Amino acid sequence: MKKYNFNAGPSILPAEVIAQTAQACQEFNGIGLSLMEISHRSKDFQPVMDEAQALLKELLDVPVGYSVVFLGGGASLQFCMIPFNYLEKKAAYLNTGTWAKKALKEAKLFGEVVEVASSADKNYTFIPKDYSVPADVDYFHFTSNNTIYGTEIRKDFDLPVPVIADMSSDILSRPVDVSKYAVIYGGAQKNLSMAGLTFVIIKDDTLGKVSRAIPTMLDYRTHIDKGSMFNTPPVVPIYSALMNLRWVKAQGGVKEMERRALERAAILYDEIDRNKLFRGTVETEDRSVMNICFVMNDEYKDLEADFMAFATARGMVGIKGHRSVGGFRASCYNAMSREGVEALVACMKEFEAQH
């Protein structure tokens, strides 16, 4: 049976990206060795690093004066690296969910943190809009896509302070005006590559402004200066990122990724709104096009386990909602086909017809 992978992360990748990465692990570049057993400084691997950085810059139209680095440690390590490198006195954070809150918690270890707004009192079902960012903060941090709750900020902020964004789960799903950011970062395992890799896009001249000493490995300048080769980088995830970046480019780039994301989301949200059994969990205007959350309507609540079994039997994988929301979550990253979403919608219709 064909499986449709709606996992939230690690998540779906194009079949050819998986095949190419598997091949490189068997034998890389026809050199008679695996990618896993050669030096990251070899003449065979260096071009992989160079092209991956260049292609991420090209696809996101990253202006001059910015660097792309590939690190380990996940987005979670960035929650502390950001304040380590940027927080001198005070920072502003927008609290839109679990990941935003975790980032905010780490920042408090380094200085004063202003929570400019929060949607916690409504279980993060909306994006706060009525707030202001103090002019004297070192930076403003937000999470563009709330993977767990299914809300998304699909715009770039115009602010007089440096803007820093966690784009773990919507990077490469739409064009972004990178010039409006000091830093964009994320774990690769949602929409860029396999697990084990973190990308950070940094405006070079925003660094070096804090007075504290920064441990070498946690200082962005170390990794920029050494081209992400200060220590051994995660070579296989970087290779799979490169294969995926080439795939995105061949498909038509981030504009085409956005067109497909909007199309998939429209198909699924239309069905959620139409189907008598289901309802969406977040404010319509703040709906994520990446992580689509829905629950059974109250009068059909006891059908939840039945629908899960019904959909699973038809090849749907990973649609169980996060425990803090319940119900269902269909994560529709770049590699999810329209056909996959249509298969899920067909399940919803068929199940409705039976009840």
Distance CA 108, CA 151 (A): 25
Note if 190 is an active site residue.
Answer: yes
Any idea how long the chain is?
Answer: 355
For the chain, report the end-to-end CA distance as a whole number of angstroms. 25
List Cα–Cα distances, 149 to 31, 90, 144, 156, 327, in angstroms.
46, 27, 12, 20, 11
**Sign of the torsion formed by the C-alpha atoms of 110, 115, 121 and 126:** negative
Q: Is 96 in the site for ligand PLP (CB under 6 A)?
A: no
Return the number of the residue (20 or 151) whose C-beta is nearest ligand PLP: 151
Binding mask 328-347 for ligand PLP (x = CB under 6 A): --------------------
SS3 278: strand
Among the candidate windows 70-78, 154-162, 217-225, 259-267, which touches ligand PLP by CB under 6 A? 70-78
SS3 258: helix
Return the number of the residue (90 or 102) whose C-beta is nearest ligand PLP: 102
Instruction: Determine which residue in the list 138, 152, 166, 258 makes contact with ligand PLP, applying CB under 6 A.
Output: 166
Instruction: Determine which residue in the list 59, 68, 75, 91 makes contact with ligand PLP, applying CB under 6 A.
Output: 75
Shortest Cβ distance from residue 218 to ligand PLP (Å)?
15
Shortest Cβ distance from residue 211 to ligand PLP (Å)?
28
List Cα–Cα distances, 67 to 121, 316, 346, in angstroms.
38, 39, 44
Return the number of the residue (234 or 280) whose C-beta is nearest ligand PLP: 234
Number of chain residues interacting with ligand PLP (CB under 6 A)? 12
Shortest Cβ distance from residue 286 to ligand PLP (Å)?
15
Instruction: Determine which residue in the list 187, 234, 327, 340 makes contact with ligand PLP, applying CB under 6 A.
Output: 187
Element (H, E) at 4: strand 4-5
Q: What is the DSSP string of 51-102?
A: HHHHHHHHHTTPPTTEEEEEESSHHHHHHHHHHHHH-SSEEEEEE-SHHHHH
Instruction: Determine which residue in the list 190, 203, 260, 329 makes contact with ligand PLP, applying CB under 6 A.
Output: 190
Q: Which of 138, 166, 170, 286 is catalytic?
A: 166
Return the number of the residue (9 or 340) whose C-beta is nearest ligand PLP: 9
Note if 99 is an active site residue.
Answer: yes
Contact 170/186 with Cβ under 8 angstroms?
Answer: no
- Positions touching ligand PLP (CB under 6 A) are 9, 74-76, 99, 143, 147, 166, 168-169, 187, 190
Catalytic site positions:
99, 166, 190
